[in-house]
């Protein structure tokens, strides 16, 4: 849930409170999951095929 919220623009402090994390560093674990997913998608889709060298 937290990763999905982060990916859709939720403020990290809001779901830190919702999850009951005392430390922001605990909640930031979810940002790493999101960043890894973003990098994986980027590696597969960029550069878009056919958009260069025409």
Residue 47 CA to residue 19 CA, distance in Å, equals 37
Question: What pLDDT digit, counting tens, does each position of 8-21 carry?
Answer: 888 889 889 988 99
- Identify the pLDDT of residue 2: 74
| Predicted pLDDT of residue 12 | 86
Using the CB atoms, write b or e for 8-39: b if 16+ within 10 Å: eeeebeebbeeeebeeeeebeebeeeeeeeee
Q: What is the pLDDT of residues 1-54, one digit of tens each?
A: 777 777 788 888 988 998 899 999 998 887 777 777 778 887 888 876 666 655
Q: Are 2 and 15 in contact (CB under 8 A)?
A: yes
What pLDDT, on a 0 to 100 scale, did the predictor assign at position 53? 53
């Amino acid at each position: 849930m937290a990763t999905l919220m982060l990916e859709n623009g939720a403020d990290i402090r809001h779901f830190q409170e919702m999850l009951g994390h005392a430390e922001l560093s605990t909640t930031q674990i979810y940002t790493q999951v999101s960043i890894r997913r973003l990098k994986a998608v980027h590696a597969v889709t960029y550069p878009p095929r056919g958009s260069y060298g025409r």
